[in-house]
Each structure stands twice: as C-alpha cells, then as structure tokens.
C-alpha cells in the first residue's frame, strides 16, 4: 500500500499545478486541471484508506480488549486517527482549491490574449478602411474620368452642379452624371465607349453597396461586443484575485508579467486558511471557490461570442460570393474586394482555430467546480 502511495505522490510532482508563464490552449488547461485533481484525490484517498484500515483494526481490538486501560488507550488512538483523517480531508480540499484556482487563472490569461487578438483583428480588418472605397463609384478613377468627360461636354444651359455633400452621394452622383450625359454634346459612340469603361464598376457598386455596408456595420458591432467581453474578463480578474489580496489590474499584471506573484499570494492565502478553523475557514474556502464559478460563466459568454462571430463571418463570405457578374467583370473589380474576401477566409479560420470556444462538458464542469470525478 505504501509503495502505491509513493508512486502516486511521485506522479503528482509531475503535474503542473503552478501558473505557467507560457500558457496553453484553454482546453488543454482544463484537461490538466482534471488530471491534477484526479491525482490529488487518489493520493488522499489512499492515505485516508490506510487510516480507515487502522480504525477497523482498533475497533476489532476494542471488542476483544480485556482491561479498561487497554480500551481507553485504543479509544484515544481512534480519536487521533479520526483527527488525522479530518486533517487529510482539509489538505485534500486545499490542494484542489489551489489547482482549480491557478488553472483557472491560466484560462483567464489565455482567454485574455485571445480577446486582445480579436481586438487587434477587428481594429485592423480591411472592412473599416476599404468598404467606403470599394462601394462608392466616386472612389474609382475610371468613374472620375467619366464625370470629367461629361462635364466638359455637358449642356451648361440645363446642367446642374451638385454641392460637395450631394456630390459625394453615389446615387445622386450617378443620376447627375447620366442626366448630364444624355443632354451632352457627346456622340452616341462616345457615350457607349465611356459607359463601357465603367459598366463593371457601376454594376458592382450598385449591386453590392448595401451588402458591403452590412459587412461594415456588423463588423463594427462585433468589435463593440468584443470590447464588452474585454471589460468583463478584466472585471472577472479583479474579482478573482481580490480574495487573495492581489490588487493590480489584469492589464497591469500582463504588462509586468506578474503572474508568479499571484501564485505566491495564493500560497500565503492557503497557509492562512489552514490555520483557521470552523466558520472562518469555511468563508475563506468559499472566497476562492466562488471565482471559479464566475470563470465558468465567463467561458459560456466567450463561447457564445466566438460562435456568433464565426457565424457572422460565414455570412460575410456568402455576401461577398454573391456578386453574380464576378467572372465577367473580374479584371475590373478593385483589388480591395479580392483582399477583403481573403481576409474573411482568414477570419473564419481563426474563429475555428485560434479563437475557438472552450469545450467544457457537464463532467468537466463538475470536476472544475467541485473536484468530483464520476470514475473515482
């Protein structure tokens, strides 16, 4: 029996329950957490089994004890072993609390990096910079040239010059350009030639303008939602570390690479908790258990956001592939349109890999929240 305990204790030393600076995928962290909890439980179950076996021997000896002194001695031994079992149970709970807390902290750090990555993604995605450029014909040099040609040949008696505000409006600009063209001194052949040079541009912008604006505004919505997720994880970190006396913000902790300080604070907190008894000890236990529950709630929020974001980008891909004259006008389409399609494909891949949801089922949830394993 003792040999088995030593083997398990040695195995336990190889389980990383401290905070890793480099971190890993949240799903890997969850698996590490479950494995560490299982090993700790096995370690203490074996230790307590030895004590319980001793209790059984004492109970048998009590039954056959011939003197009062012998019975008293055995009863004292029995109470001592019960106290030792209670101590082992508390130590078991403390170790599990530390595992859950520090592994939970690793999950927070990892998810924060993902949220910051998403923030950078939304800030740099080309939709914000390019949508107005590729959806408005006024941004194309071919169309600007057409307006210049028409302006030079327009009937000044009937033509109307638009203000700068109306002139920037694509629909109003098109109406003015074609109205002036009809009444201009251009020949039929010249008009057809000029129209041929811009037909793909006008067809693309008129067909796709609303859809491209949809991508712009929905991407802006995703960025706003990500800002909310970022604020929530920073609040979670503050509530998570407050019980152990760590005050810096998540941003400050990350900037200063101060994660090991939190581990030290946790060790100090557990030492104080170990010295307490009764209700005071229970309150300290709850103070480090409750943030784990909050973490699980945040993971559900993060998962919903990632799932939503992935669906948005799948929708964007369908929108960008819906232009029916793409093959016919391929050589005339702006390079920004092709780059935007490529960006959307990359974003979909990131949502499925780099930013993928944390996969926690009901069993893993029980292990994290309560340290229970259904196979124990």
Rounded to whole angstroms, the Cα distance separating 312 from 335 reads 23
Question: Within a 10 A sphere around the Cβ of 109, how many other Cβ atoms?
Answer: 23
The separation between CA 248 and the C-alpha centre of its own chain, rounded to angstroms, equals: 22
Domains of the chain, residue spans: 2-133+209-370, 134-208
**pLDDT given for residue 367 in this prediction:** 59
**pLDDT given for residue 122 in this prediction:** 80
**In order along the chain (376 residues), what is the average pLDDT of each group of 10 residues?**
44 46 70 86 94 92 86 91 92 87 90 89 68 83 85 65 60 76 79 87 89 88 92 94 93 93 91 85 84 85 91 93 91 88 88 81 59 49
**pLDDT given for residue 200 in this prediction:** 92
Rounded to whole angstroms, the Cα distance separating 111 from 250 reads 12
**pLDDT given for residue 156 in this prediction:** 62
Contact at 8 Å (CB) between 219 and 125?
yes
**pLDDT given for residue 248 in this prediction:** 95
Q: Answer whether 0.85 is exceeded by the pTM.
A: no
**pLDDT given for residue 229 in this prediction:** 93
**pLDDT given for residue 7 in this prediction:** 42
**pLDDT given for residue 82 in this prediction:** 93
Rounded to whole angstroms, the Cα distance separating 236 from 130 reads 36
**pLDDT given for residue 256 in this prediction:** 93
């Amino acid at each position: 029996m003792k040999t088995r305990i030593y083997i398990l204790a040695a195995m336990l030393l190889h389980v990383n329950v401290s905070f890793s600076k480099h971190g890993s995928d949240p799903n890997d962290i969850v698996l590490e957490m479950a494995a560490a909890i299982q090993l700790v439980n096995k370690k203490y179950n074996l230790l307590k089994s030895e004590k319980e076996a001793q209790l059984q021997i004492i109970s048998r000896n009590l039954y056959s004890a011939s003197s009062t002194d012998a019975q008293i001695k055995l009863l004292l031994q029995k109470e001592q072993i019960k106290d030792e079992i209670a101590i082992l149970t508390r130590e078991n709970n403390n170790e599990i609390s530390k595992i859950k807390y520090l592994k939970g902290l690793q999950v927070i750090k990892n998810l924060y990096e993902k949220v910051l990555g998403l923030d950078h993604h939304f800030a740099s995605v080309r939709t914000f910079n390019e949508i107005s450029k590729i959806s408005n014909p006024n941004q194309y040099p071919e169309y600007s040239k057409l307006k210049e040609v028409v302006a030079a040949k327009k009937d000044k008696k009937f033509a109307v010059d638009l203000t700068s505000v109306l002139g920037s409006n694509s629909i109003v600009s098109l109406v003015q350009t074609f109205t002036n063209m009809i009444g201009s001194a251009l020949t039929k052949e010249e008009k057809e030639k000029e129209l041929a040079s811009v037909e793909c541009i006008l067809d693309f912008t008129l067909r796709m303008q609303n859809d491209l604006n949809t991508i712009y505004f929905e991407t802006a919505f995703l960025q706003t939602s990500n800002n909310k997720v970022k604020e929530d994880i920073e609040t979670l970190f503050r509530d998570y570390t407050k019980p152990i006396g760590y005050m810096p913000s998540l941003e400050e902790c990350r900037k200063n690479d101060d994660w090991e300080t939190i581990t030290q604070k946790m060790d100090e907190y557990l030492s104080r908790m170990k010295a307490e008894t009764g209700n005071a000890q229970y309150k300290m236990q709850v103070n480090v258990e409750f943030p784990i529950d909050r973490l699980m709630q945040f993971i559900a929020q993060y998962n919903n956001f990632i799932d939503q974001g992935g669906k948005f980008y799948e929708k964007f891909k369908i929108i960008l592939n819906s232009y029916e004259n793409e093959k016919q006008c391929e050589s005339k389409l702006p390079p920004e349109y092709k780059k935007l399609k490529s960006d959307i494909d990359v974003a979909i891949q990131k949502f499925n890999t780099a930013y993928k949801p944390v996969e926690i089922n009901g069993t893993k949830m029980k292990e994290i929240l309560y340290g229970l394993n259904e196979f124990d």
